Amino acid sequence: MRILLIGYGKMGQTIERLALAKGHEIVGALTVEEAGRLASFTSDQVDVAIEFTSPHAALGNILTCIKNKIPVVVGTTGWLQHLPQIEEKCQELQGTLFYASNFSVGVNLFFHFNEYVAQKMQQYPEYGVQVKEIHHVHKLDKPSGTALSIADGILKHFPQKQGWVNEVTVAPELLGVISEREGEVVGTHIVQYTSENDTFELHHIAHSREGFASGALLAAEWLPGRTGIFGMNDLLQL
C-alpha cells in the first residue's frame, strides 16, 4: 500500500517505521511546514494519507485530500467544529475520511465501557462524575480529543447535565473535564465517580505512542475502497 504521511513528528515517524516493517511504501512524508506540497499528490500516486499535524492545519489538509480523491486517516484533534463543512464536501465529492480522537484499541474499548457505566450510574445521583486527562507539555489542544469523546459518552446518558467545562466544578448541570500537562506523559484518562461513601474509576494509561500509531495504520489498511466518513467503531465493529 502506498502511504502519504502528512505530519512528520514523533507520531508520523512511528507510523513510518511500523508501515515499512509491514511492507508498505511511504510515498511522501510532509512536515507541517511542507503541507503546501500536499496539493501535488493525487490518487494515482497515493492509496491513503495519514494526517497527524495540528488543529489549525487539519481542515485544509483534509479538504485537499478529499478534492484530490485521496482517502485520509486523521489523528489530529481540535478541529471538529469544522466537521459539518467536511461532511458536506465529502458527500459532494464522494470523498473518504476516517477520523478518531484516539486510535488505540484499548482506548476505544474504554469509550465503549465508559458509556455502559454512565448509563448505569446516572441512576445514582449521590455519585458525582468528572473526567481527568494528563498529557505531555507539547500537546496543543486542551482538553484532549480523547477526553472530549469520553465526556460526550457521559453526557449522552446524563440528561441533567447541559455540557462540560475545562475545570473542576460542583455545578450539577456541568461535567468537569480537568486537563493537566506534565513532562512527556503519553496520555492518561480517568473517569471518576465519587460519593460520600466511596470512589471508583475507569482508568486508561498509554505506555507508548505505538498503540496510537498501529491503530492509525490499521485504519489506513482498512480504508481504501470505501467511500464516506468512518471511525473506530466501524473498524472494531463496536
Binding residues for NAD(+): 33, 75-77, 100-103
> pTM to 2 decimals?
0.77
Question: Average of pLDDT values for 67-90?
Answer: 94
DSSP 129-178: EEEEEEE-TT--SSS-HHHHHHHHHHHTT-TT--EEESS----TTEEEEE
> Rounded to whole angstroms, how far apart are CA atoms 172 and 195?
13
Residue ranges for the binding site?
A: 33, 75-77, 100-103, 136, 145-146
The answer to whether residue 86 scores a pLDDT higher than 80 is yes
Topology agreement, domain 2-99+210-236 and domain 105-206: no
pLDDT for the residue 185: 93
- CATH number for 105-206: choose from 3.50.7.10, 3.30.360.10, 3.40.630.40, 3.40.50.720: 3.30.360.10
The binding site for (S)-2,3,4,5-tetrahydrodipicolinate consists of: 136, 145-146
- CATH architecture of residue range(s) 2-99+210-236: 3-Layer(aba) Sandwich (3.40)
Cell of 13: 515517524
Q: What is the pLDDT of residue 208?
A: 85
The percent of residues above 70 in pLDDT, for the chain, comes to 100
Sign of CA dihedral 225, 229, 231, 237: negative
Which residues are the active-site residues? 135, 139
CB 89 within 8 Å of CB 217 = no
Average predicted confidence (pLDDT) for the chain: 94
Other Cβ atoms less than 10 A from the Cβ of 143: the count is 23
Q: What is the pLDDT, as a whole number, of residue 138?
A: 87
Q: Where are the domains of the chain?
A: 2-99+210-236, 105-206
Q: What pLDDT is recorded for position 237?
A: 86
